[in-house]
């Protein structure tokens, strides 16, 4: 009797506010769409202001409801970012593994979060567009990637940024310009979670959110608002964030997303 009762007892549910930051066109919205709907749109329109989505992730001892703020990457919206990362318990800072300048921008966002966001915020550095690299379908997270990646050698005649390397990348179909080792070393220095992902193929996308859910300290978890809010998406063109997806925030309106855990 007690075993049956225990099995039927619902797990505690906690809400976690999560913000995505990064340069325009690195694939932030595509990562969220893959996580929430298990979908990918080849020519997704740029986010205006921010989009709000929710998705649940089931852990062994509790259910985490992510309240996700997907911010626009265009520079003209940068001043709005503090509204979205204020009181956030987690952040995905995304860069494009084929674009070194996007990692520079990601480092800027990490520094800003460390200065101004909530103490103890869990930050994940995410290198997206892994499908454009040779190791796209074989990627694993964190140190295992760095351990398996060969260090560029000066004995090869040109360094990794030289003309020969670019020609080799083009001929092999590998568009990678940011090495796993470089990004992972930075993540370790700053005590960040680190993943390389592909929103297009889904590689490591669920794993990022699961790792974040597991890294949130129990002390910072808040109780969920119940099951009534559901899972949804709303686009915000500016102004103050609303509390959940039932509020109509912008000109695009709300579109329903698939319920359930993508982890």
Note whether 246 and 62 are within 8 A (CB): no
Condensed to tens digits (0 to 9), the pLDDT of residues 230-262 reads: 344 444 444 444 333 323 333 333 333 333 344
Domain count, the chain: 1
**Share above pLDDT 90 across residues of the chain, in percent, rounded to a whole number:** 59
CATH code of 206's domain: 3.40.50.300
Residue 245's alpha-carbon distances to 66, 81, 229, in angstroms, are 12, 19, 7
Question: Which DSSP string corresponds to 64-122?
Answer: EEEEEEEE--SGGGGGGHHHHHTT-SEEEEEEETT-HHHHHHHHHHHHHHHHHS-TT-E
Continuous segment of H or E residues that includes residue 7: helix 2-8
Q: pLDDT at residue 89 above 70? A: yes
In a domain, 192, yes or no: no
Condensed to tens digits (0 to 9), the pLDDT of residues 183-203 reads: 999 999 999 999 999 999 999
Condensed to tens digits (0 to 9), the pLDDT of residues 213-231 reads: 999 988 777 654 433 333 4
The lowest-confidence range among 14-23, 69-78, 94-103 is 69-78
d(CA 115, CA 221): 21
Model confidence at 135, pLDDT cuts 50, 70, 90, reads confident
d(CA 136, CA 125): 17
Please name the residue that has the structure tokens 């066109």. Answer: 25
Residues spanned by the domain of 115: 12-129+198-256
In a domain, 3, yes or no: no
d(CA 29, CA 70): 6
In a domain, 173, yes or no: no
In a domain, 206, yes or no: yes
Condensed to tens digits (0 to 9), the pLDDT of residues 23-68 reads: 999 999 999 999 999 999 988 888 988 999 999 999 999 999 999 9
What is the overall mean pLDDT for the chain? 78
Q: What is the pLDDT of residue 8?
A: 67
Model confidence at 125, pLDDT cuts 50, 70, 90, reads very high
CA-closest candidate to residue 51, choices 263, 251, 261: 251
Model confidence at 140, pLDDT cuts 50, 70, 90, reads very low
In a domain, 155, yes or no: no
Terminal Cα-to-Cα distance of the chain (whole angstroms)? 31
Strand partners, 122: 90
Note whether 202 and 218 are within 8 A (CB): no
In a domain, 161, yes or no: no
Residues, the chain, total?
A: 263
In a domain, 44, yes or no: yes
In a domain, 172, yes or no: no
Q: Give, in degrees to the nearest 5, the angle at Cα 17 between 120 and 30.
A: 115
Q: pLDDT at residue 159 above 80? A: no
């Amino acid at each position: 009797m007690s075993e049956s009762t225990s099995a039927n007892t619902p797990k505690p549910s906690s809400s976690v506010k999560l913000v995505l930051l990064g340069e325009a066109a690195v694939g932030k919205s595509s990562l969220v769409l893959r996580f929430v709907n298990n979908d990918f749109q080849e020519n997704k329109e740029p986010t205006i202001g921010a989009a709000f989505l929710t998705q649940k992730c089931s852990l062994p001892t509790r259910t985490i409801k992510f309240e996700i703020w997907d911010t626009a990457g265009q520079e003209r919206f940068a001043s709005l970012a503090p509204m979205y990362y204020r009181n956030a318990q987690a952040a995905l800072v995304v860069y494009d593994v084929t674009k070194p300048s996007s990692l520079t921008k990601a480092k800027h966002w990490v520094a800003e979060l460390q200065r101004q966001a909530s103490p103890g915020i869990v930050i994940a550095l995410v290198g997206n567009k892994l499908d454009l690299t040779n190791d796209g379908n074989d990627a694993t997270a964190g140190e295992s990637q760095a351990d398996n990646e060969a260090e560029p050698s000066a004995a090869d005649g040109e360094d990794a940024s030289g003309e020969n390397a670019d020609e080799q990348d083009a001929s092999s179909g590998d568009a990678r310009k940011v090495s796993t080792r470089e990004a992972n070393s930075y993540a370790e220095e700053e005590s960040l979670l680190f993943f390389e992902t592909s929103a297009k193929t889904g590689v490591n996308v669920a794993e990022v959110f699961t790792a974040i859910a597991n890294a949130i300290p129990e002390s910072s978890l808040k109780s969920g608002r119940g099951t009534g809010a559901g899972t949804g998406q709303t686009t915000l063109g500016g102004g103050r964030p609303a509390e959940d997806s039932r509020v109509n925030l912008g000109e695009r309106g709300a579109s329903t997303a698939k319920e359930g855990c993508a982890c």
